[in-house]
A and B are shown apart, each in its own frame.
Chain A
Amino acid sequence: MTVPTDQHKELKKDVTFRIFRFNPQVDSKPYFDDYTIPVERGITVLRSLNYIKEHIDASISFRAFCQAGICGSCGMRINGLSQLACTTQVWDVLVKSKEPGVIKVEPLRNLPLIKDLIVDMDPLVGKMKHYSNWIESTMPESSMGKKEFLVSEEEFLRYDKATDCILCASCVSECSILRANKEYVSPAVLLKSYRMNADSRDALHEQRLAELVKDHGVWDCTHCYRCQETCVKSIPIMDAIHGIREDAIENRGMKDTSGSKHAEAFMTDIAKKGKLVEATLPIRTNGVIWTLQNLVPMAAKMIMKRRTPPPPPLVKSAKGIKTFREMFKEMTEHVKQDHKSHKK
């Protein structure tokens, strides 16, 4: 059967790229420029930006290097979502456009803006250093190169996926904690930390963990899962974050930080009542003094303004609590067993 030639004809349509512009030397604040170009099916956002830069406006600034989704240079927000311009098909994002035929292109969030679509990556590198995102080998430098470590396939698989990270900072840009607190460790750095801690060749496990449980560390994550949903390499970043937390509880006990106490309070409530006792949760997490100083005034204000109902003085156990307690007990046993066999 011969294929009719017009079947090969690529479909084409006009697409407007609404590009975020800011040149610190001239502009007091950012603005958007519109560029409308014909785009064939199968063309990526990066190729479109290159076309605009080469043919219409050479001053548009963005980073791009490998153009093959492996170097991580061209992270940017495309129609509101942080991704790599080089692996994003124009026609795919067009479907998600708020205004038909218009694709909005903006720089990554949560990192300082330099110019147009370019942000400063130094803060991320700084955090990688702060959390020792490297292997401190258990082998002395003088014996290196003489023999290999023996590493099981099972261990390799534990961090295989985490080593896919290309530091494109898409997760950093989407992280809801970073929006509120720039000091926060960042999902990418947690992922790398997890990868290092899971490596039997590393000697820095305890020290790294001690740093991770401090303020702005692993307990600050609120499980919004935005990092994992956006990851351009589909890395289960939340598994890594949970992994560090479990590791911290196991190695350092429950009394370490407010984060672990918070988790413990959850467990106790659920085991006892089948639901949360919210009124006393802050006290159990952060202590009486902290709660009186920081939370009580705000809570009172919120209650006055009817933003929140006053906490119920007593929390009754949930319906069917007896059956639930049995199930809960069984589940906890299972988890303990799992941990034991995992360690072997």
Chain B
Amino acid sequence: MKPFDIVIVGGGGAGLYAAMEAMKTNPSLNIAVLSKVYPNRSHTSAAQGGANAALANKAKDDTVEMHIFDTIKGSDYLADQDAVDVLCSEAPKIIRELDNIGTPWSRMPDNTIAQRPFGGAGRPRCCYCADKTGHTILQTLYEQCLKKGVIFFNEYFALSLSVKGSRSRGLIAMNMKSGKIEAFPARTVILATGGYAKMYWNRSSNAAGNTGDGQAIAYRAGIPMKDMEFVQFHPTGLRKSGLLVTEGARGEGGYLINKDGERFMARYAKEKMELGPRDLVSRSLETEILEGRGFDSPAGKYLHLDLTHLGADLIKSRLPQIREMSMQFEGVDPIEEPIPVRPTAHYSMGGVDTDNFTRTVMDGVYAAGECGCVSVHGANRLGGNSLLDILVFGRIAGHTAAQEAGKFEPGNISEGELTAQYDDIRSFMHSSGHYERYGELREELGQTLGTNVGIFREASLLKKGIQDIAELKERFKKVRVFDTSDVFNTNLMQVLELRNMLDLAETVAAGAYAREESRGSHTRTDFPVRDDAKWHKHTLATQVNGKLALSEKSVTMGRYELQERTY
């Protein structure tokens, strides 16, 4: 195959923006987007609430500076301040650009882009399209990529980077439709595969495929992972499925109620109430449940998200998806009765360690969006900043790779490398010595992570978690792929996804065990306070000779000094 200038892995918001921007930067480049699903299926579509930008359409006194401060404070001061600068300064431009290419934003009475209040933000600056913002952004980007003639390799599962010395020669992937292992020799590779929070399995709001494929590929290639222990739990997942009820529901005025009928957020965030930052609200819900003020059901304990006082009109016009989901997955119409909710693993702040230009330590390899970690979210991401992150840094990745592609010679990926991968994969199909069922391992991984590496953490639990993960990794060696066919082998794909989740779970648990403090989403009951003297730094997890090694990286400071974080 003719070598590519840029191979983008992942067709969500970050990947598609990267493709669009790269073609804009240099139309003569040979660019491909690989995705394990059709790009319009990507998990970007699930983002309901919106994207933050200080457009000042709603609050005329909003500024980029305020957005920066909110983000840094929200991150519990673990975000790199120069990176946050980039994120927030680029925000208005990127939202306008999306408008210019056809994103159907909801509108204000003066016909400008509508904005709503969101958790942890000092001003209403979250730009939205009803409660389908991510979906409409993804559609718009996909449409524009089709228009620009981007070459898509849909339903290709990325297996590994082909590495020689300190640089990548391209990517190796499996064509799901044929089962063939194919080489994508490339000057540059952009990893944009989304997050890894699905490792919490049934206690996760994520799509089944958010298994951290890009991070795992990078990790196995020796690229460091950053701040992996920071996993955000969204306060309001549906009780039975973990599926998400957008923060927009609280932004529009929804109440959180315990079984005594109290608006219990008054105890935890007097001023912001339900619109406190996510980590705080999640901990509040978990505390209510642990202290016996939750409702009881066979599907577990839960609390109420009450929208009934908002009225049928508002719910139907602003939160139609939420209403539909509540009815489909809980049998509850939010116009009539409160929605049963509990916290659910939702977002991975950690990811592939990159600089502000999305470069990793490996020449020619970039990472963007939830897959990468610049870091702009630090220990806790604010609602409305994740869509923004994938757009801003997806764009930067596309631009940077397009400018730097010429610096790197395309590599050659040998037949032998492909055969080795194929043999490796086929070995799961051998009947002798392979008997473990992936479904069970996956379920157990989710359980141990939820219990031992969940919202409230402590040394003994984390030790248990680390041990469980190690045992699961051992058992994985004996996992069996029962479907032996080449064509669209989803059994095989799910097993490979499990391998990725297991590799990353180890880094999450190890990071959480090492970090003896509480910061943002990471709460240690045995170390309940933030310890800036010891832990105001990033954690790096690197695979060295097949073993996990932890190290540190300092946080880039700027205008804002460390402060206590209260709401």
Contact = CB atoms under 8 A, between A and B. Distances in A.
Interface of A: 8-10, 23-26, 42, 44, 53-55, 57-59, 61-73, 87, 89, 114-115, 118, 121-122, 125, 128-129, 132-137, 139, 141, 144-153, 156, 159-160, 163-167, 196, 199, 201-202
B104 A160 contact: yes
Given A129-B146, A163-B136, A156 B485 contact: no
A166 B491 contact: no
Contact of A25 (B24, B41, B109, B486): B486
A72 B41 contact: yes
Contact of A73 (B41, B146, B489): B41
Contacts of A66: 41, 43, 45-46, 207-208
Contacts of A202: 102
A75 to B, nearest CB: 11
A167 B40 contact: yes
A114 B241 contact: no
A114 B104 contact: no
A151 B24 contact: no
A211 to B, nearest CB: 14
Nearest to B437: A54
A146 B96 contact: yes
List the 8 closest pairs (A to B, CB-CB), nearest first.
A135-B102, A54-B439, A134-B143, A58-B482, A59-B483, A150-B111, A145-B97, A145-B93
The size bracket of the interface on B is 35 or more
Contact of A150 (B24, B112, B130): B112
B298 A149 contact: no
B487 A115 contact: yes
B321 interface: yes
Interface string B497-539: 0000000000000000000000000000000000000000000
B240 A70 contact: no
13 contacts: A59-B482, A59-B483, A66-B208, A71-B46, A73-B37, A118-B488, A134-B102, A134-B147, A144-B97, A148-B99, A152-B107, A156-B107, A160-B130
A147 B92 CA distance: 9
B144 interface: yes
A199 B99 contact: no
Given A61-B489, A153-B111, 5 more contacts: A53-B439, A68-B241, A70-B45, A134-B102, A201-B100
B485 A26 contact: yes
Nearest to B55: A148
Contacts of A149: 99-100
Contacts of A151: 105, 107, 111
Contacts of B490: 53, 61-63
Nearest to A22: B487
Contact of A156 (B41, B93, B106, B208): B106
B325 interface: yes
Interface string B431-442: 000000111100
B104 A71 contact: no
A201 B96 contact: no
Interface string B78-105: 0000000000000001111101111011
Given A8-B297, A67-B207, A134-B147, A153 B101 contact: no
Interface string B471-497: 000000000011101111111000000
Given A25-B486, A145-B97, A153 B107 contact: yes
Contact of A55 (B104, B111, B140, B439): B439
B51 interface: no
B147 A163 contact: no
Contacts of A166: 40, 45, 135
Contact of B177 (A71, A114, A135, A137): A114
A72 B40 contact: yes
Contact of A67 (B99, B112, B241): B241
B259 to A, nearest CB: 12
A65 B439 CA distance: 16
B485 A121 contact: no
Contacts of A57: 482
B240 to A, nearest CB: 7
A309 B99 CA distance: 58
Interface of B: 24, 37-38, 40-43, 45-46, 55, 93-97, 99-102, 104-107, 109-113, 129-130, 132, 135-136, 139-140, 143-144, 146-147, 154, 177, 207-209, 240-241, 243-244, 297-298, 321, 324-325, 328-329, 331, 437-440, 481-483, 485-491
Most buried by A among B104, B146, B207: B104
A159 B207 contact: no
B331 A136 contact: no
Contacts of A53: 439, 490-491
Contacts of B55: 148
A175 B485 CA distance: 32
A312 B112 CA distance: 61
A68 B439 CA distance: 20
Contact of A148 (B46, B113, B482): B113
A65 B497 CA distance: 13
A144 B41 CA distance: 27
Contacts of A59: 482-483, 485, 491
Given A42-B331, A66-B207, A68-B325, A121 B38 contact: yes
Contacts of B240: 42
Given A26-B485, A71-B41, A145 B100 contact: yes
Contacts of A160: 104, 130
Contacts of A147: 96
A23 B146 contact: no
A139 B143 contact: no
A23 B244 CA distance: 35
Given A152-B107, A201-B100, A87 B328 contact: yes
Nearest to A43: B240
Contacts of B440: 54
B97 to A, nearest CB: 4
A148 B112 contact: yes
A220 to B, nearest CB: 23
B49 to A, nearest CB: 13
A144 B94 CA distance: 9
A148 B96 contact: yes
A57 B481 CA distance: 11
A149 B37 CA distance: 32
Given A66-B45, A67-B207, A145-B96, A201 B481 contact: no
Contact of B100 (A26, A62, A139, A150): A139
B102 A199 contact: yes
Contacts of A9: 298
B491 A69 contact: no
A151 B102 CA distance: 11
Nearest to B146: A129
Contacts of B325: 68-69
Contact of A70 (B100, B113, B135): B135
Contact of B102 (A64, A125, A167, A201): A201
A139 B490 CA distance: 43
Contact of A153 (B109, B324, B439): B109
Contacts of B94: 145
Contacts of B144: 134-135
B278 to A, nearest CB: 19
Contacts of B143: 128, 133-135
Nearest to B492: A58
A61 B113 CA distance: 43
Contacts of B438: 54
